[in-house]
Structure 1
Amino acid sequence: MILIGIEHLGIMVLEIWGRPEFQAQAFGMPLDFVRQAAAQTALANQGIYNGMLGGTLIASQWLLNGPGRLTTSALLLIFVIIVAIFGSLTVNRRIFWLQGVPSIVTLIVLLVTLA
Structure 2
Amino acid sequence: MSLLITVLIILVGIEHLGIMVLEIWGRPEFQAQAFGMPLEFVRQAAAQTALANQGIYNGMLGGTLLASQWLLNGQARLTTSALLLIFVIIVAIFGSLTVKRSIFWLQGMPSIVTLIVLLMIIA
TM-score (normalised: structure 2): 0.92
Any idea what the Cα deviations from partners look like across 1:22-59, whole Å, max 9, x if unmatched? 00000000000000000000000111111111100000
Identity score, percent: 90
Q: Which runs of 4+ in 1 moved over 2 A?
A: none
Map 1:1-115 → 2, pairs under 5 A = 1-115=9-123
Shift of 1:61: 0.3
Counterpart CA distance in 1 for 2:25 and 2:16 is 14
Counterpart CA distance in 1 for 2:38 and 2:60 is 27
Structure 2 residue ranges without an equivalent (≥5): 1-8
| Alignment size in residue pairs | 115
> Alignment RMSD, CA only?
0.4
Counterpart CA distance in 2 for 1:3 and 1:37 is 31
User: What SS is found at the alignment partner of 2:37?
Assistant: coil
Shift of 1:103: 0.4
Structure 1 residue ranges without an equivalent (≥5): none
Counterpart CA distance in 2 for 1:51 and 1:83 is 13
TM-score (normalised: structure 1): 0.99
